Amino acid sequence: MGWLRWGLALCVAGISGAWAAPRQPCDSCDTCTAALAAPGANVELSTDLTGAAGAGACVTIAGDGATFNAVGHTITAQGVGVAIEGADVLLRQPTVRGGKTGIHIKGALATVFGARIEGAGTGVQVDGAAGARLDRVTVTGGEVGVAFGPVRRGACAPRATLRSPAAVAQRVSVTGAKVGLAACEARPVLMDVSVTQNSVGLLLGDPKAQGEGPGAAGPYDPCACAPSLDEVRPGTTLFFSSGCGGCKVHEGFLPDVRARGHDVRLRQTGLEHKAETTRYDAFVRRCAPGIIDAIGTPGCVPNYGCLATGDLFKRKGPDGRLVFEHRLNDADGVSGFAAECASAGTTHYGAGDACVQHAVRGLTACGNQKADVIAPAGVTGADNACGAQAIEGLGCTVACEGAPGVPAAAPASAAPAAPASAAPSAAPPAMGRPSAVVGSAPRPATPAPPPSAAPTSAVMSAAKAVNPERSDRPAPPWVMYLGLAVLGLGAVFFWRRDRR
C-alpha cells in the first residue's frame, strides 16, 4: 500500500501548494478591511456588504500581497466600493454597485480579476499605480467605465504625465457610460476590450513620461515581456496541475503534445518541488489568476492559460459555476490551444522594453454616440473592429455592422501557427501626432456582447462534455475541506501502519 500512501501525500501537497495561506472569512466592511491590512492576507467575503454613507471606502486592501476573494457576493458602495492601497494585491471577482468609484487602485502591481461594476460614477479608477492589470472586468453605466487618470469633460488634459505605466486591460467590457475606457495618464496594453453603446468608446491621451523604466517608452506588459518564472515566454502555455485525479490524465497528454513541438510549462507537484511550486503559484496569481480559479470544484483542477491571448481552459463565473472557454479533453485539443498561444506570442510580442507589437488588439469599438475611438495617430493596433473611419496604424480591419468604408480582413489569429521563438522587436509607438477621431456620428451597430456573466447552455454543454459527471451546482466549501481531511487521515493511517 506504499503507492497509495505516497499518492495521497503528493496529492495533499500539490493542492495545499495552491493555497499558501488559509482563507479567512469576513462579513462586514470593517472586518474585511482589518483582515486585509495584514501582508499576505487571504480573505474571503462571506456575505453581501453595504458601505456607510460618507465613510469613504467600504473595503480597503492595505496589506502588500493580500488577496480578497469576493465571488458570489455584492458590495453596495456609497463612496468607494474597494480601495487597493497595498502592493501586489489580487482582487478576485467582486460585484460592486453604485457609489462614486467602484474600485480605486492606488497600489502598484494590482490585479483585478472577474470584477462586475454597475452604476458607479467611475467603474475602475487607476490613480498613479504602476503595473495595474484588469482581467475580465465588466462595467455598465456611469461617467467613466475605466479611467487611468482623471477625465475632465470627456477629454484628457493636454499636458498629462505618465503616472500609471505598464498597465494592461484584457477582456474588459464597458457599456452605457459617458466614456468607456479612458487612458489619460497611461499607455495601456488593450487586448480584447469591448466599448459599445457609450457616448465615447475609447479615449487615449498622450501622457509624457517622467524618467525611465519598463513602460516609460510605451505600452508594456510585465507578465509577458519580463516573466518572473523561468522557461516562460509570451507564447508559452501555462499548465496548472495539482498532481491528482484528472491532472494525471492531462499530464499524460504532455509527452505527445511536447513531441509535436509545443511549448507547455507544467506546474511541478510533490514535496520535493515545494519551492518551484511556490514560484509558479506566485506568478499565475499575478499574471493569470483565472488558471487557479477552478480549485475547490471536485474533478476540475487541471487548467491551462496563455499570456499572449489571455485565454483559459476554464474558470469560475460570478455565481461560482464553472465556465469552459475551450474544450481541452485530449492531446489534440491541448495542441491546438498551445499552437494558437505560440502564434499569438510570435505575432504580437518581441523583446526588450518595446516588446508589445500592438498596443490595441482585438478591440470592439462600435455603436458609441459621439466617437468610437479618440487616440493619437501613432497608436499601433491589430484585428480591431471600429466605426466609420480607421486611424492609420490602429488596425481597424473589421467594420462594425452598418458602418461604411472599412474593409474587412481575416484576423491574425486565423494565420497558421508559428513556433514561439524569437520575434522582431518594435520601436515604441509615436504618440505625439494630433489625435484622430473614429466614427464621430451615431450609427446603427451590433455591439459585441460583454463577457458572459454566467454559463450559457452551449458553455454548459461543453462543460459536461469535458466533465460528464460534474454538477452544475458549485460544490459547497465543506465538501472540499472534508475531502482534504479524508486524504490527510488516509495518508497518516497508511504511514502509521507501515511503521508497525
The answer to whether 58 and 77 are in contact (CB under 8 A) is yes
Q: Which residues pair with 45 in a beta bridge?
A: 26
Q: How far apart are the C-alpha atoms of 110 and 130, rounded to whole Å?
A: 8
Query: Following CA atoms 220, 221, 225, 230 in sequence, which dihedral angle do they give, to the nearest 10 degrees?
Result: 150
Mean pLDDT of the chain: 79
Residue 457 binned pLDDT confidence (cut-offs 50, 70, 90): very low
pTM attached to this predicted model: 0.79
Amino acid 388: pLDDT: 55
**Mean of the pLDDT values across residues 428-438?**
41
Write the single-letter amino acid at 447: P
Q: What percent of the chain has pLDDT over 70?
A: 73
Quote the crossing angle between the two packed helices 477-499 and 2-18, to the nearest 10°: 140
Delimit the domains of the chain by residue range: 25-213+355-413+422-438, 237-349+454-499
Q: Inform me whether the pLDDT recorded for 495 exceeds 70.
A: no
Q: Inform me whether the pLDDT recorded for 450 exceeds 50.
A: no
Per-residue pLDDT of 76-129, as tens digits, reads 999 999 999 999 999 999 999 999 999 999 999 999 999 999 999 999 999 999
Per-residue pLDDT of 252-261, as tens digits, reads 999 999 999 9
The answer to whether 358 and 348 are in contact (CB under 8 A) is yes
Amino acid 477: pLDDT: 45
Q: How far apart are the C-alpha atoms of 165 and 370, rounded to whole Å?
A: 28
Q: How far apart are the C-alpha atoms of 364 and 144, rounded to whole Å?
A: 17
Report which DSSP code applies to 161. B
How is residue 288 written as a grid cell?
493569470
Q: How far apart are the C-alpha atoms of 257 and 338, rounded to whole Å?
A: 9
Q: Inform me whether the pLDDT recorded for 329 exceeds 50.
A: yes
Residue 421 binned pLDDT confidence (cut-offs 50, 70, 90): very low
Of 334, 338, 237, 250, nearest to 288 by C-alpha is: 237
Higher pLDDT, 248 or 399: 248
Per-residue pLDDT of 150-183, as tens digits, reads 999 889 988 899 999 999 999 999 999 999 999 9
**Mean of the pLDDT values across residues 336-356?**
93
Amino acid 296: pLDDT: 64
Q: How far apart are the C-alpha atoms of 386 and 3, rounded to whole Å?
A: 59
Positive or negative torsion for Cα 374, 378, 381, 385? positive
Among 2-11, 15-24, 189-198, 360-369, which is the least confidently predicted range?
A: 2-11
Q: Inform me whether the pLDDT recorded for 134 exceeds 90.
A: yes
The answer to whether 441 and 389 are in contact (CB under 8 A) is no
Q: Inform me whether the pLDDT recorded for 398 exceeds 70.
A: yes
* Residue with grid cell 505527445, as numbered in its chain: 256
Per-residue pLDDT of 294-312, as tens digits, reads 766 655 688 999 999 999 9
Per-residue pLDDT of 40-73, as tens digits, reads 999 999 999 999 887 789 999 999 999 999 988 9
Amino acid 422: pLDDT: 34
Q: How far apart are the C-alpha atoms of 269 and 379, rounded to whole Å?
A: 43
Q: Inform me whether the pLDDT recorded for 21 exceeds 50.
A: yes
111 SS3 class: strand
User: Phi and psi (nearest 5°) for 175?
Assistant: -135, 150
Write the single-letter amino acid at 302: P
Amino acid 389: pLDDT: 54
400 SS3 class: coil
Quote the crossing angle between the two packed helices 331-348 and 245-259, to the nearest 10°: 60
Q: How far apart are the C-alpha atoms of 202 and 367, rounded to whole Å?
A: 12
Q: What percent of the chain has pLDDT over 90?
A: 57
Q: How far apart are the C-alpha atoms of 497 and 327, rounded to whole Å?
A: 42
Per-residue pLDDT of 71-90, as tens digits, reads 889 999 999 999 999 999 99
